[in-house]
Amino acid sequence: MGRYVVGRMSDLPPGSRRLIQVGRFEVGVFNVNGKYYALNNRCPHAGGPLCLGEVTGTTEDAGAYRVVWVRQGEIVSCPWHAWEFDIASGRTITEPTKTVRTYPVSVEDGQVVLETDTPPRAGDRSEQSRGA
């Protein structure tokens, strides 16, 4: 299993994100309201750079031909075709059977740590390359 130090908690405040190179792919690590989540940076629709998209909210049916804006800061929209994904679960908003891979993220001694099943390679931003 690979462990990648994303940075200090203060480097990733609420509403921010950071891309981490993990082997041959990238993972986006997001701080959503003080909780950390990680998504593969490849949109399942057409392979776009999902984690570079706008972090926003979405609409929800409020009945009687009304919609309300909800979940601000919890949704990422793919910059290629605007597919929206729940950052916490990796599921699309409009078609919940479509998902993007998620990864565990923890905080250890003030450091945000991404865990994957890909072992670190030379040059990756991993605990091993940071001397931990």
What pLDDT, in 10s, does the model give residues 57-110? Answer: 999 999 999 999 999 999 999 999 999 999 999 999 988 788 999 999 999 999
**Token duo for residue 85:** 């994904």
- pTM greater than the 0.75 cutoff: yes
Domain definitions of the chain by residue range: 12-104
pLDDT single digits (tens) 6-46? 999 999 999 999 999 998 889 999 999 999 999 999 999 89
What is the DSSP secondary structure assignment for residue 9, as one 8-state letter? G
Please tell us whether the domain made up of 12-104 is placed in CATH 2.102.10.10: yes
Residues 105 and 113: beta-carbon distance below 8 Å = yes
CA distance 105 to 12: 13
Cβ neighbours of 103 (radius 10 Å): 21
